[in-house]
Structure 1
Amino acid sequence: MTAQTLVDAVVVGLGPGGEETAGLLGEAGWDVAGVEARLVGGECPYWGCVPSKTMVRAAGLLADGRRIPGMAGTAMVHPEYGPVARAVRRATAGWDDTAAVERLTVRGVRVLRGTGRLTGRDEVTVTGSDGRESVLRASRAIVLAVGGEPVVPAVPGLAATPFWTSREAVEATAAPESLLVLGGGSVGLEIGQAFGRFGTAVAVVEGASRLLPREEPEAGDLLMRVLTEDGLEVHTGNPLTGVDHGPKGFTAWCERGERLTAERLLVAVGRRVDPSRLGVGVLDVDPDVPALPVDDRMRVVPPARGVPGVWAVGDATGRGAYTHLAVRQASVAVGDILGAAGGGVAGGEAGGARGEVPEAVPGTVPGVVPAAGRSRAEYHAVPRVTFTDPEIGAVGRTEAEARERGLPVRTGLADVATSARGRIHRVGNAGFVKLVADTDEGVLVGATAAGPCGGEVLGALTVAVHARVPLETLRATVWAYPTFHRVIGAALEDLGP
C-alpha cells in the first residue's frame, strides 16, 4: 500500500514561481511539500536567464575590445571560451541545487524529488526516479507550477539527430566551429550572437518573415541589420524542410532550396507545457489544453467546503515564460490562498503535525498583500527583454496587437542616434524608442526600447504602461541629458499632442 503524507499545501514544480509560492507559504507557518523532478530553481538559474547572460556579457566584452582601435588606442582581442564555460559553471553551482534546497528548507518547505501528478482533488502522487510512488494529501491548497519544455518542430529528420536545445548550448565547454540556429526569437538570437563573437560561424533560420516575429517589426529590422554586420548569416521566411546528421555534422535544407551545414544545430523555437502529465482531468480540465485556465487570482479550481483549492503559476498558465511574471503570480496566488484559508493559520491534522503554529496574518509575509485587499493578476504591462546587442525591451501591446483589438492607435518613434548625442556604447547608438498610445484614453498601451541599455530604458516605460500614466504627464517629464532614456521624450514629441 502506498504511503500517504498529509500536509497543508503541495506545490508541484519548484521553478521561480513554485519556489516563491512554497517559500511564502512556509514562512506563513504552513506545512508545505514541494515536488521537483529536476533542479530546485527551475530553468532560469541553471540553463536560462543567469548562465545565458554570463555568455552574453562575455561576448559583449569581446565586442567592446574590438571597438577600441580608432577610439581609445590599440587592442588585440583573442577569443577564448574556456573562461566563459567556467564562469557558467560557477554561476550554476555546477548544476547543483543543494543551496536552493537548503534555502527552501529554511523557509519551512520539505522538498520531494520526483514527478508529481494529480490523482484526486486533494491528492498528488509523486513518482521518484526509481519508479517508487508516494502520495501527498493537501488539506488547504495545491499549486501547479511546472515549467515548459523546448518545442521540437516536426522537421523531417530532426528528431533523430543530436541537436542542441538551450541546455546543451549553455553547458558547452567550447564554442563550436559552426552553429545553425533554428528560430529567430530571443533565445536563438542571444546564444547565436554570443557564440558568433567567439568565432563561431552562425546561421539563423526563422520561418516567419522577420526576426523576433512577436515584437515590433522595427525591432526585427534592426537586429537583421546589426547581426548581419556582426557576421551572422540570417534567413527569414525560409523554414527548414529537412535535417540530416553525419560524421561531418548537420546538413539542413531550406524551403527556398538553400543547403546549410554546421557542426551543431540549436533548436530554439519556443517552449510549451503539457498539462496532460499533471493529471488535470480530475479537475474536469481538458488535458489537451495548451495552458491551465486560471482566473485573476491564479485559481484553477476555487476552494470548496472540505476540499482544497487548486492554483497555478508560471509557464503552466500560458501567460509568458518569464521569471519575473512567475514570481508576481506567486505573490497573487499566495495572497489568495492565505485569504481563502482565513488568515493563513496552519491547522487541522496537517498543521498539528508540526506543533502549534502562531497565527499568520496575511500581509506579514514579504510580498503578500493583506487578505482584505488581495491583489489580482494583470497582464497589460508585462515587460520582456531580448538580451542581444542591441537589447530589445518591450512592454504591453505592439502596434499590430493594439489595432487588432480595435483600439484608436497613434504611435511615436524616435531614433537613439539622433536623440542621445554624444553617447557611444557597444554597437554605437543603433536603436529606437517606439510608443503605442490609445488616443481615446490618453495613455500608452505599449512601448519598445531598442538599443544600448534597452532593457534598462524599459523600466520607465513599464511604469508608464502599468500605471496608465496620462500622456500629458509624460510629456511634462524632464529627461536627463545625455541619457538613453531621454529618447522617450523624443518619441513622445513624435507621438504628437
Structure 2
Amino acid sequence: MALAHTTHQTDPMTETESIEYDVVVLGAGPVGENVADRTRAAGLSTAVVESELVGGECSYWACMPSKALLRPVIARADARRVPGLRRSVRGPLDAPEVLAHRDEYTSHWQDDGQVRWLDGIGADLHRGHGRLSGARTVTVTGADGERRVLTARHAVAVCTGSRALLPDLPGLADVGPWTSREATSAQTVPGRLVVVGGGVVAAEMATAWQALGAQVTVLVRGKGLLGRMEPFAGELVAEALEEAGADVRTGTSVESVSRENGTVVVVTGAGDRVEADEILFATGRAPRTDDIGLDTVGLAPGSWLDVDDSLRVTGHDWLYAVGDVNRRALLTHQGKYQARIAGAAIAARATGETLRAQAWGAHAATADHAAVPQVVFTDPEAAAVGLSLAEAEQAGHRVRAVDVDLSSVAGAGLYGDGYRGRARMVVDVEDEILRGVTFVGPGVGELIHSATVAVAGRVPVSRLWHAVPSYPTISEVWLRLLEAYRDN
C-alpha cells in the first residue's frame, strides 16, 4: 500500500485545488502537532490546517505565558521563606521585566519556530479556516478567499481545542471583558482586577496579577477555589491569596456588569458593588467545533465529540477527536497523551495492523480514566492525580483517605520557614492500591509524577514501602503517608 504521498488536482471551473493525503489534522496546537508527528513517523502523508498561530492556545495564551507570569511570583515567595535570602527580595516585582520575559516565551506571538518544526517532520501546513465538507474531506478557505479541498485516505483528526465560555450577561460585550487570552497577554498591569470564577485559570491569574501589583477581587459562585480537587487545596490557595492582599469572596454570583466612565462596575447577587479597571471571566470552556462542518457528517455543530479509547468518534470509522474537543481531560499534557494514542491507532488501522485495544495498551487512552495529573501553579502549588476522596466514593470504590501535614517532613522545613502544606492519598482498601493523590504546598508540582506512576501503575501499597524516598527531601512525605495508613 502506498501511504506517504499526496495527490494534487485543480478544478479549472472553480480554481479550487484538491489535494489527497493519508491524514488531515484540523488544528496545529500541541495536540494536532503530536498527531501529525506520530502519523508522519509511521510513514503517512499528513496535512495540518490552522487558522491562527501554529502552536495553539498553549503556546501563546495559556500554558507558556501563564507560567512565565507565575514563575517570578513563586520564586520570590519561595525566596522570602529562606533565612539569609528573604531580605534580598524585598520590594515589588519588576512588572515590565516580567511582562517582557512572558513575551519572549510566547515568541512575541510569532509562530515561525513552530512552522519550522512542522516542516521538519514533513507535514504540510495549510493556513486558513478548515471545515469538514463530507466524509474524509476538509475544505480550507485562506485569508485571501482561496479554497483548497483536502481529502484524507484514512483519517481526519479534529484537534481544534476549546475557547473561553462567557456567561450570558446583558451588556457584557460592551465591557470588553478579559478571558484567559487577555489575562495572559495583557501588556500593562491593571490597578484593580475582578476575577470571576474559582477554577485553575481564576486561581492562577489572581495569583499572578495580585503579585504584579493589581488589587484583585475574586468572585466565586461556589463554596471555594479549585472545586475539582480535594477541598483543602482550594482552602490553602484562598488563604494565601488573602494574605497577599486579594479579596476572595465565595458563594458570590454576578448579576450585572457595566463600564461607567472607563470603570468596570460589578453588582453581585447580594447587591454589593465592586469596581475595577478590568474584569476576567474564568467561568468555563466550550469546544471549538461550532464552525468546522460537523453538520456535513451528521454531528451537531458546537458539540463536544464522544470518542472511544482510541479517540475515534462514535459512529465514524475515519474521524478522530483529540484533546479538549472530546472533553475527557482539558489539559495540554493529556491532549498530547491522547495524540500519541490516536496517532498510533490511525497508523495501525492504515497499515492493516490489528489494534491492541486492551487496557494500558499502545492503542488505548486508559490514563484519561484513571490517572489524570494536574498542577496548579499558585502559591502554594496544588497538584493532584486520579480521584479525590469524594469522586472515589461516588464511583463505588471502598476507599480510605490518609492525610499528612507536609510541614512535618524534614525536607519541607528546609525548603522554607513556615512551610504550610498538606498531602492526601486515597487508598482502595480492597485492592490496596492508590485511587488518587493530592499535594498542596510550595514546590509540590515536582512531586506529582511519582504519584502519577503509582496510580497509573496500580502499584500495591506493600510495594510502595520499598520505593525509598531520599532524605531530606519533600518526597519523604510518601513515607509519612504510608506510616499513617499503617497506623490508623
TM-score, length-normalised on structure 2? 0.90
SS of 1:3's partner is strand
Are the aligned partners of 2:192 and 2:215 in contact in 1 as well (CA < 8 Å)? yes
Q: What CA deviation, in whole Å up to 9, does each residue of 1:231-280 have, x standing for no partner?
A: 11001111111111122421101112221111111111222204342222
SS of 2:274's partner is strand
Report the counterpart of residue 469 of structure 1 in structure 2: 459
| Correspondence list, 1:353-368, <5 A | none
| Correspondence list, 1:303-382, <5 A | 309-342=318-351, 374-378=362-366, 379=368, 380-382=370-372
Q: What CA deviation, in whole Å up to 9, does each residue of 1:349-391 have, x standing for no partner?
A: xxxxxxxxxxxxx99xxxx99xxx6431012101011000111
CA RMSD of aligned residues (A): 2.4
Report the counterpart of residue 430 of structure 1 in structure 2: 420
Are the aligned partners of 1:433 and 1:488 in contact in 2 as well (CA < 8 Å)? no
| Stretches of structure 2 lacking an aligned partner (at least 5 in a row) | 1-13
Q: Distance in 1 between matches of 2:124 and 2:484?
A: 55
Q: Distance in 1 between matches of 2:96 and 2:87?
A: 27
Are the aligned partners of 2:82 and 2:416 in contact in 1 as well (CA < 8 Å)? no
C-alpha displacement of 1:52 = 0.9
Please state if 1:295 is matched with 2:298. Answer: no
Return the letter of the residue paired with 1:326: G
Are the aligned partners of 1:166 and 1:187 in contact in 2 as well (CA < 8 Å)? yes
Q: 1:49 to 1:458 in 2, by over 3 A?
A: same
Q: 1:190 to 1:438 in 2, by over 3 A?
A: same
C-alpha displacement of 1:494 = 2.3
Are the aligned partners of 2:294 and 2:300 in contact in 1 as well (CA < 8 Å)? yes
Are the aligned partners of 1:156 and 1:241 in contact in 2 as well (CA < 8 Å)? no
Report the counterpart of residue 4 of structure 2 in structure 1: none
SS of 1:265's partner is strand
C-alpha displacement of 1:474 = 1.6
Q: 1:195 to 1:374 in 2, by over 3 A?
A: closer
Q: Distance in 1 between matches of 2:84 and 2:471?
A: 26
- The equivalent position to 2:251 in structure 1, one of 237, 242, 248, is 237
Report the counterpart of residue 358 of structure 1 in structure 2: none
Are the aligned partners of 2:65 and 2:105 in contact in 1 as well (CA < 8 Å)? yes
Q: Distance in 2 between matches of 1:37 and 1:421?
A: 48
Q: Distance in 2 between matches of 1:101 and 1:186?
A: 30
C-alpha displacement of 1:44 = 0.8
Are the aligned partners of 1:26 and 1:32 in contact in 2 as well (CA < 8 Å)? yes
C-alpha displacement of 1:288 = 5.5
Return the letter of the residue paired with 2:335: A
C-alpha displacement of 1:480 = 2.1
Return the letter of the residue paired with 2:364: R
Report the counterpart of residue 171 of structure 1 in structure 2: 185
Report the counterpart of residue 297 of structure 2 in structure 1: 283
Return the letter of the residue paired with 2:40: G
Please state if 1:247 is matched with 2:261. Answer: yes
TM-score, length-normalised on structure 1? 0.89
Q: Distance in 2 between matches of 1:72 and 1:89?
A: 28
Return the letter of the residue paired with 2:275: T
| Correspondence list, 1:10-89, <5 A | 10-64=24-78, 66-67=80-81, 73=87, 76-89=90-103
Report the counterpart of residue 383 of structure 1 in structure 2: 373
Are the aligned partners of 2:78 and 2:442 in contact in 1 as well (CA < 8 Å)? no
Return the letter of the residue paired with 2:27: G
Q: Distance in 2 between matches of 1:466 and 1:296?
A: 16
Are the aligned partners of 1:34 and 1:112 in contact in 2 as well (CA < 8 Å)? yes
Report the counterpart of residue 451 of structure 1 in structure 2: 441
Percentage of pairs with the same residue = 37
- The equivalent position to 2:114 in structure 1, one of 91, 94, 100, is 100
C-alpha displacement of 1:197 = 1.3
Are the aligned partners of 2:23 and 2:156 in contact in 1 as well (CA < 8 Å)? yes
Q: What CA deviation, in whole Å up to 9, does each residue of 1:183-234 have, x standing for no partner?
A: 1211111111111112211111111111111111011111121111111100
Q: Which moved more, 1:280-289 or 1:168-177?
A: 280-289
C-alpha displacement of 1:73 = 4.7
Q: What CA deviation, in whole Å up to 9, does each residue of 1:446-475 have, x standing for no partner?
A: 110111221111111111100000111123
- The equivalent position to 1:219 in structure 2, one of 213, 219, 233, is 233
| Stretches of structure 1 lacking an aligned partner (at least 5 in a row) | 345-361
C-alpha displacement of 1:155 = 3.0
Please state if 1:490 is matched with 2:480. Answer: yes
Q: Which moved more, 1:155-164 or 1:194-203?
A: 155-164
SS of 2:23's partner is strand
C-alpha displacement of 1:74 = 5.5
Q: Distance in 2 between matches of 1:174 and 1:427?
A: 33
Are the aligned partners of 1:56 and 1:190 in contact in 2 as well (CA < 8 Å)? yes
Report the counterpart of residue 415 of structure 1 in structure 2: 405
Q: Distance in 2 between matches of 1:9 and 1:421?
A: 50
C-alpha displacement of 1:418 = 1.6
SS of 1:285's partner is coil
Return the letter of the residue paired with 1:153: P
Number of equivalent positions: 468
Are the aligned partners of 1:14 and 1:40 in contact in 2 as well (CA < 8 Å)? yes
